[in-house]
Amino acid sequence: MRNNKGFTFIEALFSFSIIIIVTLSIFPTLLKVYLFMDDLSAERSMASTLHDELQYVSQNDVDLPVEMKKSSPSPTLYTFIQEDSYIKGCAELLYPYLSEVEICMYAVKQ
């Protein structure tokens, strides 16, 4: 007489293989999300710093054009130039392994 209570070894192996397949298919996607999260954090930090520097340049007497590099938290090149009555500030991430990321903002000279 057969015992029909519980899982057999084959059923348990099949269930375990399905769990492994689902886990391994989700892992690369999660890894990519975490990598993009770091890149977006660097871009937000760059935009915030650009805003602060642009405010300083527009409110103080600074000889334009100005170009400066900052390395905190990621290497970034900031440039400020005069365009008519506006000051154009641009920030460019200096990542060698990513495509170019550049953000520009404008301010009125005060």
Does residue 4 belong to any structural domain of this protein? no
Does residue 102 belong to any structural domain of this protein? yes
Does residue 20 belong to any structural domain of this protein? yes
- Helices within the chain (DSSP H only): 9-59
CA 74 to chain centre: 10
- Name the pLDDT band for 4 (thresholds 50, 70, 90): low
Note the pLDDT of residue 38. Answer: 81
Judge if pTM exceeds 0.75.
Answer: no
Q: What does residue 89 show for φ and ψ, rounded to 5 degrees?
A: -115, 130
Task: State the Cα–Cα distance between residues 101 and 42, nearest whole angstrom.
Answer: 10
Count of domains for the chain: 1
Note the pLDDT of residue 42. Answer: 82
Structure token digits, residue 24: 């391994």
pLDDT exceeds 70 at position 83? yes
pLDDT exceeds 70 at position 33? yes
Does residue 1 belong to any structural domain of this protein? no
Domain that holds residue 35: 9-108
pLDDT exceeds 80 at position 9? yes
DSSP state of 63: P
Does residue 42 belong to any structural domain of this protein? yes
Note the pLDDT of residue 1. Answer: 54
Q: Cα angle at 105 between 100 and 109, to 5 degrees?
A: 145
